[in-house]
Every structure is written in structure tokens, then in C-alpha cells.
Amino acid sequence: MSLLLVIFAAVFGAATAGFLPRPAHRLAVRFGAPPRSACAACSRPFPAGLAGWVRAGAACPCTRGFLLTTSTGAATAAVLAVRLGPSPRLPVLLLAAVPALLLALIDLRCRRLPDRLVAALAVTAGLPLAALAPEKAGTALLAGGAVLAAYGILAGLSPDGLGLGDVKLAAVLGLILGFAGWPAVLAGVLTPHLINGPIAVFLLVTRRADGKRPLPFGPALLAGALLGLTTA
């Protein structure tokens, strides 16, 4: 492991994550609604064109919390660098972490995982990984299909707990984990439930949730995939 590589990865993760609060804020809307044209907190309109989407730091001068986003991006990238080292997979997964973190931010805000971002994650990671390891593409496709079927069944049994967005994201993550092997897939499938379960209990006990509104499951899925990639 190279310390310089880890530092470079962490800086990359923090820098890219620093531009995510604005698009996350604009895209965190109900299904079918257009992106926000103004700040939800102060009603300040966002500029037209690219300037309305690209902003380093908080989504709006009136909001805070971007330091947590940049810290998460840096930590995610650093963990990947420590585990993978100078592997050709590292830049692929560092780039894939950008739409992944954006998906987590949106899901936390409005419990929605936009299909286009899920597809972007699949393309950003799936195609390069297939090019790097074509011999593992069959396993990856099988893993993605197996996870899609498993989560589809879970969503059918508990429609209030899992949405179709969760199922699609799980399938994409299963595909990505398939390139790392079946132990990574298994860890990525099981860990999200171990993450969300204790959180739900804590929120119920502390009366910060009433049990009627399910927790966003996308962040747990993404955290489980990270653990699968770095521990299996």
C-alpha cells in the first residue's frame, strides 16, 4: 500500500464529493417532478444552465452540511485505495463512487433512487470492469441477476420496505460485486440489512421515528457494497 496513493485517492474523493450537494438538492424531488429550480430553504433561484448544477460546497449559501459529504467521499476513496492498492480497478471504482454517493444523498433526502443515476453507476463501473476482466463477466451477470431476483422477491413480500429503485440498485451493485467474487456478493447482500436494522431500532427507541415511514435503503446498499469490495 502506498501512502501517496491513499492521499491522492482521498483528495480525489473529497474534491468530487464537494460538487455533489447542489445536484443532490436539485434532484431530491418526488417521482415525476422536475429538478428544483430554486433552493428549498430560501427560495433563491438557481442559475440557468451548467452554472445551476455545478457548485463547490453547500447546495446554496444558506445551507450547510457539505463537510460531511466531502468527508464521506474522502473516506470512501481512501478505503478503496487501502484495500485495492495500485490496481486497475481502483480508478474505475473511484469514479463509480461519485454517482454512488449522489444516489445516497438523494435517497436520504426523499427516498428515491433516480433510474438515470442507477444506470450511470452501472455504466461507469460495469463496462470498465468487464473490459479489465472479461473472464469474470459471466459471473458478474449471474450475480446481478441473482441479486435482482432475491431483492425482487423481498420487495414483493414487503412493498413498504423496499422500492423498485432499491431492487434496481441492488442488481447493479450485485453486478459490480460479481467481478470481485461470490464472497463479495454475499457480503454486499447481507450487510445492508445488518446496517439498517440496528438504526431502525435505535430510531424507534429514541422516538425519532414512528415505524410508519421506512428508512432509505439505498445508503445501506451502497455501504454494504463498499464493505463487500474491501473485506471479502
pLDDT (tens digit per residue) in 167-178: 999 999 999 999
Is residue 208 predicted with pLDDT exceeding 60? no
Residues 6+ apart with CB under 8 A from 146: 174, 185
- Quote the pTM value: 0.92
Question: How far apart are the two ends of the chain, measured CA to CA in Å?
Answer: 18
> What was the pLDDT predicted at 207?
55
CA 214 – CA 111 distance, rounded (Å)? 9
Per-residue pLDDT tens over the stretch 71-126 = 999 999 999 999 999 999 999 999 999 999 999 999 999 999 999 999 999 999 99
Please tell me the least confidently modeled range out of 1-5, 33-37, 47-51, 178-182. Answer: 1-5
The mean pLDDT value of the chain amounts to 91
> Higher confidence at residue 159 or residue 47?
47
